[in-house]
């Protein structure tokens, strides 16, 4: 293998390491961010369901338009979050900011989210009937309270599933990070070995060439290494042989004279 090819391999390994590390870390960051957003939304669903029931009770007592508006806002917020989990979209986070939430890709979690949305339908309908009756439909209020318990249970099951999936995902991400680190270490060792071989070959060639130049013409110049080093070594060895023959001829002449 030539020095150029050695260097290309070394540089290529370094580039592959950088790309693998960057790609791996990007994947880890995106996956963690998406999982965190989904868990954040799912964790708030129980609180939002309780808020809807609370706003319904408040409106029943006060019958004020502003309380009806707060009830409607809670309904919209819950449904928006539930829809984001099942189909993707924006949802309000715990800090009040809106973020894009990817749809759940775990089959069990997605089924739980759809079940939650299905249970949400009767609760939403009961709230709307309550508002239409201007807070006088007590049967609708009872349905809101009853449905709230079912929605909360479904929300709790979804949150538990996402936490389990998150733990499993984190384990896989740690494996990916471990692979990236291992590849980096291997690439480093290979690059160091390539550099060591080239350096050792040059050092040996230099030392043997110096020895021959000082008269050690019996020393064979045979240095393993990259192709260029090998060719240079053979060329120098031919010069050594030629020098040796010249010295032998000179010694014979001097002996004969």
Q: Which residues pair with 99 in a beta bridge?
A: 91
What's the pLDDT at 132? 92
Question: Is residue 9 packed enough to be buried (19+ CB in 10 Å), middle (13-18) or exposed (0-12)?
Answer: middle
Indicate the DSSP class of residue 206: H
d(CA 143, CA 77): 20
Q: What is the model's pLDDT at position 52?
A: 92
pLDDT in tens, the chain (257 residues): 555 565 666 666 666 766 766 676 676 677 778 888 888 888 888 888 899 999 999 999 999 999 999 999 999 989 999 999 999 888 887 777 888 888 888 899 999 999 998 998 999 999 999 999 999 999 999 999 889 989 989 999 999 998 888 777 667 667 767 777 777 777 777 767 777 777 777 777 788 777 777 777 677 777 666 666 677 777 777 777 887 787 778 777 777 65
For 193, residues 6+ apart whose C-beta sits below 8 A from its C-beta are none
* Phi–psi pair at 93, nearest 5 degrees: -85, 180
CB 15 within 8 Å of CB 168: no
Return residue ranges of the chain for CATH 1.20.120.1730. 3-187
Q: What is the architecture of the domain spanning 3-187? A: Up-down Bundle (1.20)
Q: Which two tokens stand for residue 207?
A: 């030392």
Q: Taking the domain 198-256, which CATH number applies?
A: 1.10.287.130
* Strand pairing category for 89-92 and 98-101: antiparallel
Model pLDDT, residue 136: 92
Measured in degrees and rounded to the nearest 5, phi and psi for residue 214 equal -95, 10
CATH 1.10.287.130 intervals, the chain: 198-256
Instruction: Specify which residues 101 forms β-bridges with.
Output: 89
Q: How far apart are CA 105 and CA 132, in angstroms?
A: 38
Q: Across the strands, what pairs with 30?
A: none
CA distance 139 to 194: 81
Strand, helix or coil at 135? coil
């Amino acid at each position: 293998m030539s020095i150029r090819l050695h260097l290309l391999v070394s540089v290529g390994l370094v580039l592959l390491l950088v790309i693998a590390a960057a790609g791996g870390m990007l994947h880890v960051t995106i996956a963690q961010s998406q999982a965190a957003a989904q868990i954040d939304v799912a964790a708030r669903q129980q609180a939002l369901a309780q808020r809807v029931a609370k706003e319904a009770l408040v409106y029943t007592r006060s019958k004020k338009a502003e309380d009806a508006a707060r009830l409607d806002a809670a309904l919209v917020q819950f449904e928006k979050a539930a829809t984001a989990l099942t189909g993707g979209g924006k949802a309000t986070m715990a800090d009040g900011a809106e973020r894009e939430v990817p749809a759940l890709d775990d089959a069990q979690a997605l089924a739980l989210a759809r079940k939650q949305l299905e249970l949400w339908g009767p609760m939403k309908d009961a709230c709307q009937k309550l508002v239409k009756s201007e807070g006088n439909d007590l049967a609708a209020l009872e349905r809101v309270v009853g449905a709230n318990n079912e929605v909360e249970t479904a929300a709790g099951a979804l949150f538990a599933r996402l936490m389990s999936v998150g733990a499993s995902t984190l384990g896989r991400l740690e494996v990916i990070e471990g692979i990236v680190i291992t590849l980096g270490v291997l690439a480093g060792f290979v690059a160091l070995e390539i550099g060591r071989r080239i350096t050792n070959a040059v050092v040996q060639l230099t030392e043997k060439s110096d020895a021959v130049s000082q008269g050690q013409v019996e020393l064979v110049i045979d240095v393993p290494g990259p192709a260029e080093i090998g060719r240079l070594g053979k060329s120098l060895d031919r010069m050594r042989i030629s020098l040796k023959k010249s010295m032998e001829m000179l010694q014979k002449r001097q002996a004969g004279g």
